[in-house]
Amino acid sequence: MSAIPLTDTSKLCVHTITTKPWSVEEAMDKYAEAGVGGITVWRQWLEGRKISEVGDQLRACDLEIVSLCRGGFFPAATSQGLEDAIEDNRLAIREAAELGAPMIVLVCGAVPGQALDESRKQIADGIAAALPLAEDYNIRLAIEPLHPMYADDRSAINTMASANEVCDRLDHPLVGIAADVYHIWWDPDLAEQIRITGEKNRLFAYHVCDWMTPTTDLLNDRGLMGEGCIPLEEIRAMVEKAGFTGFNEVEVFSDRWWARDQDEFLTEIKKAYLNHT
């Protein structure tokens, strides 16, 4: 099964970290000029700015604000640590509201050596504690399952099934899933889990990039779509079949691409989006 080809960039969203050398001001100008439809803003890109003004600038550029990235990192060795994490997620919710972002991506967190089940419990508890404020501002919280190679210190939620389990436990219309191909492409249960996620109206976001062979760095060696081995068109077909009509968000962490001219990179992103996504 393959998806219908993408013929324009109206559903292309780029994460500010993808073009890391650019400030949010540069990024918005360049993205808008390139015809990119949406932007996901990483919180670091808002430092030192009046957030509501950045939101106004983005809207003036006709860029749809898809998400604020990222909240999460709930698990902690102490109850104070968990409380601090919840407070930071509440801050992220206020920032998203100020920016005009309807959603926050959650990288849920993990503590090396702490039992993953305990971390998963803390994640559910942490999200539950932040939910009332998310309701006040109507901000969606998207749990992003992270690749199992990040289970030590980045996320104890490593599969769609595991994310769905947390969603089931919380059972709230504002809690859903951000499906990122980098983290989930290998999963033998992927098609079924995406189907379930859609059926439960919780497929909130879809992120794309590619898996390089060899991968030389666990964090910053992602490929642009088409450079690697992920069956992107098949996974997009699953996502669309599950009812997803949102943006295809390009989230590439790559020392290799960051070292290149970013205007050229943005041109390559568009090509890769139209031909290999």
Interface residue list for a copy of itself (CB under 8 A): 112-113, 115-117, 120, 147-149, 151-153, 158-159, 161-162, 165, 185-188, 211, 213-216, 218, 228-229, 231, 234
Q: Which is nearer to a copy of itself, 7 or 216 (CB)?
A: 216
Least distance between a copy of itself and beta carbon 2 (Å): 11
Work out the burial of residue 155: count CB atoms within 10 Å of its CB; fewer than 13 is exposed, 13-18 middle, 19 or more buried. buried
Least distance between a copy of itself and beta carbon 3 (Å): 15
Q: Which is nearer to a copy of itself, 60 or 115 (CB)?
A: 115
Least distance between a copy of itself and beta carbon 236 (Å): 15
Least distance between a copy of itself and beta carbon 221 (Å): 9
Least distance between a copy of itself and beta carbon 148 (Å): 4
Q: Which is nearer to a copy of itself, 132 or 148 (CB)?
A: 148
Q: Which is nearer to a copy of itself, 32 or 151 (CB)?
A: 151
Cβ(31)–Cβ(1) below 8 Å = no
Supply 48's token pair: 């030192």
Q: ∠ at Cα 129 (127, 135), nearest 5°? A: 85
Q: Which is nearer to a copy of itself, 98 or 233 (CB)?
A: 233
Going by C-alpha positions, the residue among 31, 28, 34, 37 that lies closest to residue 55 is 28
* 176 vs 63: CA distance, rounded Å: 23
* 259 vs 215: CA distance, rounded Å: 17
Q: Which is nearer to a copy of itself, 158 or 254 (CB)?
A: 158
Using DSSP, state whether 71 is helix, strand or coil: strand
* 4 vs 240: CA distance, rounded Å: 10
Least distance between a copy of itself and beta carbon 264 (Å): 25
User: E-assigned strands of 84-223?
Assistant: 103-107, 140-143, 175-180, 203-208
